[in-house]
Amino acid sequence: RSVRNNRVVDIQALIDDLKGMEEEKPLAIHVSSLDPKSSAYQGGVLMVTIVDKMAVALYNRSGCFTVSVDGVAKTTHQCEGTLLMASSLTPTNRIFPMAYTWASTESGKSVGSLLGHLKPHLEKDPKYVITDGADCLRNATEAVFPDTTKHLLCAFHILLNFRTHLGTTKDSVFWELALSTTEEGYMLAADKIEALVVAQEAKALVKLQAKVAKANDKVKKQGKILDLPIPVCHPKPVSSRKW
């Protein structure tokens, strides 16, 4: 919800509107980091954090104690910035949001605001925190939850890296591993992925060998000697890795 006055966002009116929502629903509203130099926002408000106490109650009773943190949307026009979200999981692996922070950028300060305002409502710190590889996310998480022992990468971001190297046609193998619930199923999927990697490396080697051979032939035609060594590879047998 937003309140506009002559097509310019009235931040104070928006805050008052959010405060009204807090009376209707169990929301905790935090406005922080006033920056008078910020010309993009009337009143200079840099961050607004909203904690859904009803969702936090579900976290406190679910027993999963897992928190996922990431930027989920980019806002444009008068409210240009980033929307950050902290979510958790139910025992049936369903995701539910617990807190949001709207800020000008995704940074250690904005992520710290999100987690810092969420933490007092949690009866127990998360055992697992899921993010991407961004330093600001990881550093802010470690600062707010220093005793969290497991810091995991989001499966979606790992999938993007997986696609970069193996294309988009092998997603089912990735999810077979990511969603496995037994060691046997995990190892079977891991062997399939390693076989794909070995095959991909072999294809890349063939292309490199052809490129080197072409370079040698081109130089020889010019009456020069380059004689680059043709690269060779001795791939390890599949399943040789100690998982």
Write down the domain spans for the chain: 4-153, 155-243
pLDDT for 4: 37
pLDDT for 1: 36
In whole angstroms, what is the distance from residue 170 CA to residue 206 CA? 21
In whole angstroms, what is the distance from residue 114 CA to residue 11 CA? 19
Closest to 67 in 3D by CA, of 3, 10, 140: 140
2, 9 contact by CB (below 8 A): yes
The CB density around residue 128, as the number of other CB atoms within 10 Å, is 16
176 burial type by CB count under 10 A (0-12 exposed, 13-18 middle, 19+ buried): middle
pLDDT in tens, 181-225: 888 988 998 899 888 888 888 887 788 878 877 877 777 777 665
pLDDT for 97: 92
Q: What is the dihedral of CA 84, 89, 90, 95, to 10 degrees?
A: 50
pLDDT for 118: 92
The answer to pTM > 0.85 is no
Q: What is the DSSP string of 45-104?
A: EEEEEEEEHHHHHHHHHHS--EEEEEEEEEE-GGG-EEEEEEEEE-TTS-EEEEEEEEES
In whole angstroms, what is the distance from residue 73 CA to residue 229 CA? 49
Q: Measured over all CA atoms, what is the biggest interatomic distance in the chain, rounded to whole angstroms?
A: 85
Q: What is the DSSP string of 142-165?
A: HHH-TT--EEEE-HHHHHHHHHHH
Give the HSE-up count for residue 62: Cα atoms under 13 Å, Cβ half-sphere.
23
Q: Which long-range contacts (CB under 8 A, 24 or more apart) does 2-8 make?
A: 2/79, 4/78, 7/78, 8/42, 8/78
Architecture of domain 4-153: 2-Layer Sandwich (3.30)
The CB density around residue 162, as the number of other CB atoms within 10 Å, is 21
In whole angstroms, what is the distance from residue 201 CA to residue 205 CA? 6
154 burial type by CB count under 10 A (0-12 exposed, 13-18 middle, 19+ buried): middle
Q: Give 5's strand partners.
A: 8
Q: Which long-range contacts (CB under 8 A, 24 or more apart) does 138-143 make?
A: 139/108, 140/108, 140/111, 140/112, 140/115, 141/69, 141/111, 141/115, 143/108, 143/112
Low-confidence ranges of the chain (pLDDT < 50): 1-9, 36, 38-42, 237-243
